[in-house]
Structure 1
Amino acid sequence: MATTRTPVATLLCWRDLAHPQGGGSERYLQRVGAELVRRGLRVTLVSAAFDGCLDEETVDGVRILRRGGRLSVYPRALLLLAGARVGLGPLRGTRPDVVVDTQNGVPFFASLLTRRTVVLVHHCHREQWPVAGPLLSRLGWWIESTLSPWAHRRRRYVTVSEPSRAELVALGVDAERIEVVRAGIDPPVAGDRAPAGRRLVVLSRLVPHKQIEHSLDALAALRAEQPDLRMDVVGGGWWEQRLRDHARDLGVCDRVVFHGHVSERRKHELLASAAVHLMPSRKEGWGIAVVEAAQHGVPTVGYRSSAGLTDSIDDGVTGLLVDGRDELIAATRKLLENPGLARELGEAARDAAAGYSWSATADGFVDVFATVNPEVDWASFTPSAVE
């Protein structure tokens, strides 16, 4: 029989949102955690430490434990889970009713300790592994494509888009074990949309697979036609200096501002002042930035080959999907030269964005939790039950 006691959820992710390299996938998990807390669950997130961080803090009701580094976080997280099982360590007294194991290329393999594990995959990393070097990339892809599907052959999966679901099926994960739970969206904290003018915006982590170079190429290609064209690059990452060098080589340093990490308010101000949002990423699971731009009536131009953007962008309705750098430049030109079309796409994108919420995202997780651990009365922890 299901019990109505307060359930405990433990979330595992190699980074949290405060990490200097945190991005959309970290936002997704922490927003879900915060919504679960609001519904009455006890939620702990285990992630890697970083310079200057606190070992433990509570954010939006989610207890965050930071242990280890980029690689050592994985065994450290398993040790914490093992301690919870026997009443030892920081998780003692909070033995989880469900564990969400976030697979950012490599999972934590929490399933070794508990069957009550849900594997969260934003997208597969075949295209991204080469940056790790020849040996590590082969090992990483083998773990992701072969070992993990076998190790989790009896576990439930959550992913964020239909293309990502198809990728998992191609790796041998049974389709009926995969639930698509799309990201929600936070209300914008800026005021009404400012006049866009001739501004392009890129909202992204600055890492190689995001291919921000292609956005800079578009700026360079269009600068003669659009003398007042400018670009805002919002976000940080270890690839930033390479991008600055690329901008210098293209001769567009006076046209682009690298803002780095900014406040939520400033992020939305920059999105609101743009005419077009560019997302030339090699791979996306969904693309939260697409919907954040859409909140301000700003359409996105992105790559069809990225997989997830084919789910978050309705091509020709809420934005434009293109194939390659030349088409990215042509589509950007089209929207800049046809502001009426850009407004039409932007308004449709705004309407679509209104349909997403973190409450709906949490609903999807609770539905999966109910199949993983039927001993908990999960129906008692819905929005209607706690409001």
Structure 2
Amino acid sequence: MPTSTAPAVALLCWRDLDHPQGGGSERYVQRVGAELAARGMRVALLTAAFPGCDDETVVDGVRIIRRGGRLTVYPRALLTLAGARLGVGPLRGFAPDAVVDTQNGVPFFASLLSRRTVVLVHHCHREQWPVAGPVLSRLGWWIESRLSPWVHRRRRYVTVSEPSRAELVDLGVDADRIDVVRAGIDPPPIADRAQNPADRAQKSADRAHNPADRAQDPGGRIVVLSRLVPHKQIEHALDVLAALAEEMPDVTMDVVGGGWWSDELREHARKVGVGDRVTFHGHVSEERKHRLLAGARVHLMPSRKEGWGIAVVEAAQHGVPTIGYRASAGLTDSIDDEVTGMLVDGRDELIAATRKLLENPGFAVELGAAARERAAGYSWSATADGFERVFARLR
């Protein structure tokens, strides 16, 4: 249990992991907080409220304070942080030694209250802003690309991949103020479906020739693990399924995750004729998520933009390679093309690459084995180490 004199860290993020729209970036922030708390630090996460939530709770040693909504979370978090300095409000007595300001397009501008602020950016949002409409998108991109770099011109940045670091440099952030701290990974709650890659390939090949066993074989299964929002472009994965359905009668797809774009995706599946071949699971337990990942041959990640892609590594834990877009930026860091997965350019190449892995189980297993080996090198402990090094450099 951290003492009242232990170092204090405030994390600011627009959502926490229990939020219905929480995803990989929220997992990153909360798991870092949990690691820091386990090391004896006092950690508070200031985030938005959502229907049915508790205003305050503690998860894995992290005190979570929820105030405001999608837009009002920003001023409410700053008020809470200011109250901590004045000795009032829910954080009275909590004077943070470091503040992590998560910029999901828009930062909290916590550096106006604390010089010891680190700006966490998973990726830049140029390609995603249009969904906000013509006015908000222009304003949002101006804040992200012009105002934020100027306000934070003396602050340290953390990002999750080299491509995201390059994007920040392009926006005018000094390269020597940016640290790359990659995401970690939790051990899967279930065992790999086969420890020996060669055995997996042979079993897959045998089952492909035995109609009675096809239902147990991952050869015809595609999985998508993602928040269901427009920039994730799950429609492209559904188009892959539609393109392969006629030539591969056993191919099916599991879409794991929820989001406000769910109804549009279900309609798209019906429109392209694969409504009976795809299962939308919504939010599932960690165990169920990993079982669905482990039961697939290939994981598709057709996002327009990714900072890193934690789902890539989660699939890799089960020897399942990911196919994603080269233009997404971050996936070029988490996927080693033709070694741990495949990077493609456009929908036609996505279809061709998926066909290749479904028709060639040996190659899929080879990629998956390399991906699993690489995934073993990531941990949240190492991620927290990175943040401690950054905190030590704050002035």
What is the distance in 2 between the residues matched to 1:322 and 1:290?
15
Match of 1:311 in 2: 333
Matches within 5 A, 1:186-197: 186-193=186-193, 195-197=217-219
Query: Are 1:92 and 2:92 matched, yes or no?
Result: yes
Match of 1:244 in 2: 266
Deviation at 1:192, TM superposition (A): 3.1
Amino acid at match of 1:186: D
Matches within 5 A, 1:283-298: 283-298=305-320
Deviation at 1:203, TM superposition (A): 0.1
Deviation at 1:224, TM superposition (A): 1.1
Matches within 5 A, 1:111-126: 111-126=111-126
What is the distance in 1 between the residues matched to 2:273 and 2:151?
50
**Which of these residues, 372, 380, 395, is aligned with residue 350 of structure 1?**
372
Question: Unpaired runs of 5+ in structure 2?
Answer: 195-216
Amino acid at match of 1:87: G
Match of 1:208 in 2: 230
Query: Are 1:74 and 2:88 matched, yes or no?
Result: no
Per-residue deviation, residues 296-353 of structure 1 (Å, max 9, x unmatched): 0000000000000000000010000000000000000000111000000000000000
Contact 1:196 1:273 in 2 (8 A): yes
What is the distance in 1 between the residues matched to 2:340 and 2:191?
22
Match of 2:301 in 1: 279
Amino acid at match of 2:379: S
Contact 1:190 1:266 in 2 (8 A): no
Number of residue pairs matched? 370
Match of 2:213 in 1: none
Contact 1:197 1:273 in 2 (8 A): no
SS state of the match for residue 201, structure 1?
strand
Query: Are 1:63 and 2:63 matched, yes or no?
Result: yes
Deviation at 1:191, TM superposition (A): 2.8
SS state of the match for residue 197, structure 1?
helix
CA RMSD in angstroms comes to: 0.9
Question: Unpaired runs of 5+ in structure 1?
Answer: 374-387
Contact 2:131 2:137 in 1 (8 A): yes
Match of 1:183 in 2: 183
**Which of these residues, 243, 246, 259, is aligned with residue 224 of structure 1?**
246
What is the distance in 1 between the residues matched to 2:192 and 2:125?
37
What is the distance in 2 between the residues matched to 1:8 and 1:47?
17
What is the distance in 1 between the residues matched to 2:161 and 2:262?
28
Matches within 5 A, 1:34-183: 34-183=34-183
SS state of the match for residue 168, structure 1?
helix
What is the distance in 2 between the residues matched to 1:356 and 1:315?
19
Per-residue deviation, residues 14-62 of structure 1 (Å, max 9, x unmatched): 0000000000000000000000001000000000000000000000010
Amino acid at match of 1:285: G
Query: Are 1:263 and 2:285 matched, yes or no?
Result: yes
Contact 2:318 2:372 in 1 (8 A): yes
Per-residue deviation, residues 120-146 of structure 1 (Å, max 9, x unmatched): 000000000000000000000000000
Contact 1:161 1:180 in 2 (8 A): yes
Moved more, 356-365 or 190-199: 190-199
What is the distance in 2 between the residues matched to 1:59 and 1:191?
26
Q: TM-score, normalised by structure 2?
A: 0.93
Higher relative contact order (CA 8 A, sep 6+): 1
Q: TM-score, normalised by structure 1?
A: 0.95
Contact 2:219 2:358 in 1 (8 A): no
Contact 2:219 2:361 in 1 (8 A): no
Match of 2:276 in 1: 254
What is the distance in 1 between the residues matched to 2:120 and 2:247?
45
What is the distance in 2 between the residues matched to 1:208 and 1:192?
31
Match of 1:16 in 2: 16
SS state of the match for residue 29, structure 1?
helix
Deviation at 1:5, TM superposition (A): 4.5
What is the distance in 2 between the residues matched to 1:71 and 1:211?
24
Deviation at 1:197, TM superposition (A): 3.0
SS state of the match for residue 248, structure 2?
coil
SS state of the match for residue 173, structure 2?
coil
Deviation at 1:151, TM superposition (A): 0.1
SS state of the match for residue 179, structure 1?
strand
SS state of the match for residue 366, structure 1?
helix
Contact 2:35 2:384 in 1 (8 A): yes
Match of 2:347 in 1: 325
What is the distance in 1 between the residues matched to 2:19 and 2:376?
28
Contact 1:304 1:310 in 2 (8 A): yes
